[in-house]
């Protein structure tokens, strides 16, 4: 080992241990329960006809992940998009969904899950009649909670040009890129 590396290694190790200690102190010191139909820090958020409850927040995990429970009444879903720095995982609790990850099309029913790696275009659509429930996990959490809060606020914008400009900015600011239209169903 070079002498300069020999002396630098302990300094780096001390910095990493100090950082790890700080992160652990910011996390909750005990487990928690979030009841059905409730959210931890975000509850009952309406986005494009779906209701979002945040079950595990970025605040709970030092930004490592966040989990949303979504109740969907309208058919359809988001545009084809990618996340630069986040993986996304979908788990169907109720109903049926058509999911696209890259070029692959999957049909998910209750109990099925799909994984969309970061930087791979993906989308989904609720395809059943009636209500559906989809659990969505983002890892790391990034700014997804802020994204959904800001996206919900845009539903009231009536000027289509202003709305599209705001949507484009919103996706970009939160580390995502729209790659195409929503998937057909």
Domains of the chain: 72-182 (2.60.120.10)
Burial code (b: 16+ CB inside 10 Å, e: under 16) for 124-147 equals bbbbeeeebbbebbbbbbbbbbeb
Question: Whole-angstrom Cα distance, residue 8 to residue 2?
Answer: 10
Mean per-residue pLDDT for 126-154?
A: 96
Mean per-residue pLDDT for 140-145?
A: 96
**Where is pLDDT greater, at 4 or 104?**
104
Quote the pTM value: 0.82
Say how far residue 156 (Cα) sits from the centre of its chain. Answer: 22
Mean per-residue pLDDT for 150-161?
A: 91
Q: Tell me how far CA of residue 123 lies from CA of 3, 38, 98, 157, 179, in angstroms.
A: 52, 25, 8, 24, 10
Q: Tell me how far CA of residue 60 lies from CA of 28, 44, 54, 149, in angstroms.
A: 6, 19, 11, 18
**Cβ-count burial of 170 within 10 angstroms (0-12 exposed, 13-18 middle, 19+ buried)?**
middle
pLDDT in tens, 53-97: 999 999 999 999 999 999 999 999 999 999 999 999 999 999 999
Pairing of β 66-72 and β 79-83: unpaired
- Token readout for 127 is 């395809």
């Amino acid at each position: 080992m070079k002498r300069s590396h020999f002396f630098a290694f302990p300094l780096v190790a001390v910095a990493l241990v100090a950082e790890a200690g700080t992160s652990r102190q910011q996390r909750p010191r005990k487990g928690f329960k979030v009841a059905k139909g409730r959210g931890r820090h975000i509850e009952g958020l309406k986005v494009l006809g779906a209701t979002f409850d945040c079950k595990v927040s970025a605040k709970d995990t030092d930004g490592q992940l966040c989990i949303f429970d979504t109740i969907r009444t309208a058919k359809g879903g988001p545009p084809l998009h990618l996340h630069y720095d986040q993986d996304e995982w979908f788990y169907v609790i109720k109903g049926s969904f058509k999911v696209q990850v890259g070029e692959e099309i999957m049909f998910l029913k209750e109990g099925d899950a799909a994984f969309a790696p970061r930087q791979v275009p993906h989308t989904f659509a609720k395809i059943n009649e009636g209500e559906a429930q989809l659990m969505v996990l983002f890892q790391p959490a990034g700014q997804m909670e802020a994204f959904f809060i800001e996206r919900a606020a845009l539903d009231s914008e009536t000027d289509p040009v202003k709305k599209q400009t705001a949507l484009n900015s919103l996706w970009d600011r939160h580390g995502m890129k729209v790659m195409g239209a929503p998937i057909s169903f």
